[in-house]
Amino acid sequence: MQDMTTSPLLKTAAGKQWDHIGTTHHHGINIPLFSLHSSRSCGIGEYPDIMPLIIWCRSIGFDTIQLLPLNDTGPETSPYSALSAYALNPIHISPVRLPYALQDATLKQYVTDMQALNRKSQRIDYKTVQDKKDLFFRRYYNIFGKALTNRSAFVQFKKNNAFWLKEYAAFKALKVLHNWQSWESWPPQYKDPTDQLLNQPPPEIQEEADYQTFLQYLCFTQFNDVKKHAEDQHIHLKGDVPILINRESADVWFHRDLFLLDFAAGAPPDMYNHEGQKWGFPLYNWKTMAAQKYTWWISRLNVAAKLYHIYRIDHIVGFFRIWGIPLPNLAKDGQFIPQDQNTWIPLGTSIMKVMLENCPMLPIGEDLGTVPPEVRLCLKNMGISGTKVMRWERRWEEDKGFIDPKDYPEASMTTLSTHDSETLDQWWKERPEESTLYAQTMGWQYTPELAQEQRLAILKDSHNSASLFHINLLPEYLALVPDMTWPTPADERINIPGVILDTNWTYRMRPSVEEIIGNPTLKRYMTEILRDV
């Protein structure tokens, strides 16, 4: 193991971030918060549900918990489709942990009704959860809101977050009052926001904006408790900062000059998506961003730094060049922007420097897919980790064999799967050509059913790689124990990118939080995985 006081990573542009986190090996779990459920949660995973897992991770020797994005997405289910770069999602507020909440008989009954949703289905019913929680929160606000908003903590929250909170609250209020219609169809006085609209809105907008502000206060209060608990237990929280923002967002609505609205971002055709992908999000106007000294990005990262210690830079190659699709064309009709390849490295380098110089969090890049070699070299020289999905780490230009995890670079994160990929079980069964080769690499005879000792061996390999970070989705560990995952492997998949499916982002883990942390067999396996590290 590289001594943390002499690691060359400390001399890179990301040196101060590495110094803070430590250049030793870090082991962790990746949790889609929406997938959790506990005895106290109401239909979906909630911020305080993370806290028992913090204690559990500490007890087994893990020190990192990764989360998918937690931004407010409105009625959208994808956590990568944020309607604010700053606001947290109110759907994850825990009603039962709010002050005074259970003193009201009606609110108490609402809680009982919402908690029944945990047992109703293996899939999350977002619409029902959102409607029931909104009903609860509006009553709670009407009864207890005045007392809580008079507190100094609320006043301070508004003051500290005024640079984004006012425009977000007005936008969310207008969205609600216009039944979630696109801001581009709003009346002119709302479509094109003014300082007067934010500072002296009509009463009905002000009333709804105040409610939305209150919800954000509750979100940040509950998550701040999570972060404090993590720090008390010496656990790092790894957040996720999506590179792009929803066209239907407060940021695009209010800062239109920062975006190229005539384009949609996506991905070019590849071996897995022959038609390419069209995500629909607008591109950034990097020239304007630079002219404004990247203030928007710096502010965004500073808010995230209040919540996390480490962050995943989503689609990091997109900061160097991104697939831009002229509207309303298809994905395959796009082109890389900027078009001039000679500008890719200078552009990405300048942005990465801004992020490193203005944010204390350690970045870990999501550099999967087709990434130009010069981009990977640039990230390596800056000390920014990449992501190593073991099944995709192969000698593609040679014999297509699998790269030994012990040969991965230190500045990387090893993982078995991602929220966008098949689970290990699915891949093993559904891609026999690839998994047969993997089995041969391990000295095994391939069979379609992955044996438990094989699963355990692969997990151990992921934690014994040369990477300094080793983080797997929690369900990959749950699969070690019978009946802790759903009977059908496909039901364990979180998302299939590029297609619209009712099952995307609705995955609910089979066991409750209490069952996870209380299972002695799971804990024994988890500690065994780290025993030889």
DSSP state of 200: S
358, 279, 283, 364: which is closest to 316 by C-alpha? 364
Asked if 466 contacts 25 with a C-beta cutoff of 8 angstroms, the reply is no
Amino acid of residue 21: I
Cα R_g (the chain), whole angstroms:
23
The whole-angstrom separation of Cα 92 and Cα 16 is 32
Q: Would you state the pLDDT for residue 1? A: 42
Q: Would you state the pLDDT for residue 5? A: 61
Q: Would you state the pLDDT for residue 2? A: 45
Question: Model-level pTM?
Answer: 0.96
Q: For residues 221-232, b (16+ Cβ closer than 10 Å) or e, as one string?
A: bbbeebbebbee
What Cα–Cα distance (Å) separates residue 333 from each residue in 263, 265, 326, 329, 336?
11, 12, 8, 6, 10
Residue linked to tokens 């656990």: 235
Q: 3-class DSSP state for residue 340? A: coil
> Max Cα separation, the chain?
71
CA angle, 325 as apex, 319 and 329 as ends, to 5°?
A: 170
- Whether cis (ω within 30° of 0) applies to the bond prior to 282 is no
Say if residue 156 is exposed, middle or buried (CB neighbours under 10 Å; 0-12, 13-18, 19+): exposed
Q: How many alpha carbons lie under 13 Å from residue 514 in its C-beta half-sphere?
A: 4
The whole-angstrom separation of Cα 462 and Cα 31 is 17
Beta strand 322-326 with 263-267: parallel, antiparallel or unpaired? antiparallel
State the 10-residue block means of pLDDT for the chain, 533 residues long: 71 98 98 97 98 98 98 96 97 97 96 90 95 98 96 97 97 98 97 94 96 98 98 98 96 98 92 84 98 98 98 97 96 95 98 98 94 96 98 94 97 97 96 96 96 97 98 98 95 91 96 98 96 86
